[in-house]
A and B are shown apart, each in its own frame.
Chain A
Amino acid sequence: QVQLVQSGAEVKKPGASVKVSCKASGYTFTSYDINWVRQATGQGLEWMGWMNPNSGNTGYAQKFQGRVTMTRNTSISTAYMELSSLRSEDTAVYYCARGGGYSGYPHYWGQGTLVTVSS
């Protein structure tokens, strides 16, 4: 069965960077896009960007351009999302979600990684 297992919770200081991992299993990693979505406490879902694990091509929401980088290591079926210049407003749960169908809509989701930004 499809599984996405994310790395553990992180606490970072303002201005630092965080890198969240998402290890995929149960399917061919390079065959489906990976989306990243975040959710601040008590708030809604916010799409951050996507990556094609086969080509490495990426696309980022305008809000995060210049601060987010999505990469992958195909040898270990793992995707990464790095967010830099962290501020308190970046405190949120970050999810990876495998794309589905031809369009890549978020289908299977990881369990989420809480990133807390605090001085």
Chain B
Amino acid sequence: QSALTQPASVSGSPGQSITISCTGTSSDVGSYNLVSWYQQHPGKAPKLMIYEVSKRPSGVSNRFSGSKSGNTASLTISGLQAEDEADYYCCSYAGSSTLWVFGGGTKLTVL
């Protein structure tokens, strides 16, 4: 099972919106509404930001939103803040043999 494809880096200025894409295949992203997104600051454990494509866990800002079209999922962060600077990973269910597959990660820089 190959990793999902994410851009290596994205950047934006405070207050702007950015979108991170996550491209998989018809065997993972395209087949299941089970895409999650994680934020990871340096030296820290990942934190769940979005699950089941577009749901936000309790305590996560509504500036974070998720969507999916075909084999590509997206994470949008609106009203960028300095503390949003981090690595972001997507993850998708990939079937009963390899349950979960991650993207390669995207480094978000807030300019």
- List which B15-40 residues lie within 8 A (CB) of chain A: 34, 36, 38
**CB–CB A105/B46 < 8 A:** no
In Å, the complex CA distance between A104 and B34 comes to 10
**CB–CB B45/A107 < 8 A:** no
The listed residue with most B CB atoms (<10 A of its CB), out of A35, A104, A108, A109, is: A109
Q: Across the interface, which residues of A come within 8 angstroms of B47, CB to CB?
A: 109
- Number of A positions contacting B (CB below 8 A): 24
**CB–CB B93/A100 < 8 A:** no
Q: B97: CB under 8 A from chain A?
A: yes
Taking a contact as CB atoms closer than 8 A, the residue among B91, B98, B104 that contacts A106 in the complex is B91
**CB–CB A105/B91 < 8 A:** yes
Of the stretches A11-19, A41-49, A68-76, A83-91, the one at the interface is A41-49
Q: Across the interface, which residues of A come within 8 angstroms of B64, CB to CB?
A: none
**CB–CB A111/B45 < 8 A:** yes
Q: Are A46 and B102 also in contact (CB < 8 A) when A62-B97, A95-B45, A103-B93 are?
A: yes
- A-B contacts, 21 listed (Cβ < 8 Å): A35-B99, A37-B46, A44-B3, A45-B46, A45-B102, A45-B105, A46-B102, A47-B98, A50-B99, A59-B96, A61-B98, A100-B48, A105-B34, A105-B36, A105-B48, A105-B93, A106-B91, A106-B100, A107-B51, A110-B45, A111-B45
**B residues near A, CB below 8 A?**
1, 3, 34, 36, 38, 45-48, 51-52, 57, 89, 91, 93, 96-105
**A residues near B, CB below 8 A?**
35, 37, 44-47, 50, 59, 61-62, 95, 97, 100-101, 103-112
